[in-house]
Amino acid sequence: MPTKRQQPLKRQRATKIVATVGPASNSEEKLKALFLAGVDVFRLNFSHGTQADHGVVLDRIRRLEKEMNRPIGVIADMQGPKLRIGRFKDGAIAIKAGDILHFDADVDRLGDETRVPIPHPDILAALNVGSTVLCDDGKVRLKVIKKGEGFLEAQVVAGTKLSNNKGFNIPDVVLPLSPLTDKDRLDLEFACEAGVEWIALSFVQRPEDIHEARALIKDRAAVMLKMEKPSAVEYLTELVELSDSIMVARGDLGVEISLAEVPALQKRMIAEARKFGRPVIVATQMLESMITAPVPTRAEVSDVATAVYEGADCVMLSAETAAGQFPVEAVTFMDDIIRHVECDPGYRHVLDATQAEWGKTIGDAVTKATYQAAIAVDASALVAFTLSGTTGLRAARERPAIPILGLTPKMETARRLALSYGVHAVHMKEDIHSFGDMVDTAVRTAVEHGLGKPGDRLAITAGVPFAKPGTTNIMRITTIGADSPPSRHDADTPAVRSPKAHDPKAHEAKAKEAKTPGGKVHA
């Protein structure tokens, strides 16, 4: 028998939280604690651990999902190509600005103070005189000054030390590499067969990389694009349109471009994702100090808040929850930051000033009209019946000031919608055959999940024929009757709309503005 805490849970915020699972958080107890603290989606980082390890964690997440009676999304993050230099005789070399280093692909010979082995002959061939080479996360910067058959020479611009197997980046060259290594292909197949919702692709440089991945995934999971290469930025619009979601991977991106450019790119990527209705995650070092400290820095709090103000669907924790000493506390702080931002009266002004472009399909028009009607009648929630998730994504693109109840007969769709702004996804067991079924299900679920009470209005959008994807074509406004079943939420575990951000009173002004002098409401 479920306990009180296991009744349907509604977050007190619209912006979602992604947490990376690792040694600090992979036990059943910690996964549950993280979920209760606020995690909506878990990330499995295939750069670490084995497939068996990730399979065990995924099984635990699925059991947690059943226990908590809430869909939980899972991201399988592929490692991608990891470019590394070879090894040195003494393990490391001292360098200084002006030194000339010889690079070649002879990895059988250890390097020294003048020579660096690189086990990537195709990379050497792709570089040209003038190309920049970054080593050790950008701590060492070199410029190619000479190129020959199977070798090149580069001058040190900055840096003092280079050691074994350090990574290297080449920011101004499109490399002749697939984003999927042999390891990634095996991991991708494992993740798809295991049933994850999202495959996150590293090292994407061009549109062809997305096509290659989709051919392997075959609709078994959604494609998440990690924006971490400067070359990908050049194709930003096309790549976002081809993907199902994007992650602003600021760590790798900040190595290959000027750090000063990253904030503007973050804002641009969020806007571009919203334009196409793609969920967008802001990631990397958001609460980095909490790996070892019980509280974040003020700058980190501001960083998380900025992503929320800019309209991101999700903010993500990496090492903070995977390997940190305070994983639950990190999620708790992130949850608190988001809720405070969404309660700020200025938050709605910022979002409303950056409205996303709407498409010209019938589904786009109906969803927009439903949202406008919901505001006009002061609805407690916008209800989106969706099979593929598209209707829920359309509603989330508007960044509505009221909750979105995403109702779907497909569990995988409910799990994917766990990533989307403001969507409270519910896997409905009953089939919808008529308008009466639709309204009854919407009302009963809204009340049960704390998204409405007798007297509240619901704005409903769906498609006819029912249970057919891509048919969003109807809107219905209904009032919850006094005889509706009571909410299963108890007084000590209230179902939540973000205070102020999701408070119907916050929309009284908008509702009044929507009325003509004669008192009629614009539909």
Q: Which residue has the higher pLDDT, 308 or 357?
A: 308
Among 137, 169, 201, where does a domain finish? 169
In a domain, 10, yes or no: yes
CA neighbor of 488 nearest in space, from 148, 9, 36:
9
In a domain, 352, yes or no: no
Mean pLDDT throughout 227-246?
94
Among 319, 347, 375, where does a domain finish? 347
Residues 150 and 59 in one domain: no
List 62, 84, 161, 183, catalytic entry: 84
User: What pLDDT does 426 receive?
Assistant: 96
Q: Is 267 an annotated catalytic residue? A: no
In a domain, 355, yes or no: no
Give me 181's structure tokens: 């290594």
Whole-structure pTM value = 0.87
Q: Residue 454: give its domain's CATH number.
A: 3.40.1380.20
Among 347, 382, 407, where does a domain finish? 347
Give the separation between CA 27 and CA 41, rounded to whole angstroms.
16
Q: Which residue has the higher pLDDT, 354 or 268?
A: 268
Residues 473 and 497 in one domain: yes
List 226, 267, 339, 394, catalytic entry: 226
Residues 15 and 123 in one domain: no
Give me 71's structure tokens: 């869909």
Mean pLDDT throughout 303-328?
97
Residues 234 and 382 in one domain: no
Q: Which residue has the higher pLDDT, 226 or 122?
A: 226
How many domains are there within the chain? 3
Residues 283 and 425 in one domain: no
Tell me the CA distances in angstroms from 441 to 189, 266, 370, 409, 432, one per residue in order. Answer: 37, 39, 18, 12, 8
In a domain, 494, yes or no: yes
Q: 3-class DSSP state for residue 118?
A: coil
Residues 413 and 489 in one domain: yes
Q: What is the pLDDT of residues 24-60, one digit of tens each?
A: 999 999 999 999 999 999 999 999 999 999 999 999 9
Average confidence score pLDDT of the chain: 88
In a domain, 480, yes or no: yes
249 is in which domain, residue-wise?
Answer: 4-80+178-347
Helical spans, DSSP H, in 40-96: 51-68
Residues 109 and 137 in one domain: yes
- Residues 472, 366 contacting (CB under 8 angstroms): yes
Mean pLDDT throughout 446-453?
93
Q: Is 60 an annotated catalytic residue? A: no
List 10, 43, 115, 147, catalytic entry: 43
Give the separation between CA 231 and CA 2, rounded to whole angstroms.
51
Residues 190 and 233 in one domain: yes
User: What pLDDT does 467 receive?
Assistant: 66
Q: Is 226 an annotated catalytic residue? A: yes
- Residues 281, 248 contacting (CB under 8 angstroms): yes
In a domain, 430, yes or no: yes
Q: Residue 318: give its domain's CATH number.
A: 3.20.20.60
Q: For residue 94, list its beta bridge partners.
A: 161
Q: Which residue has the higher pLDDT, 356 or 251?
A: 251
List 284, 367, 386, 461, catalytic entry: 284
Residues 124 and 44 in one domain: no
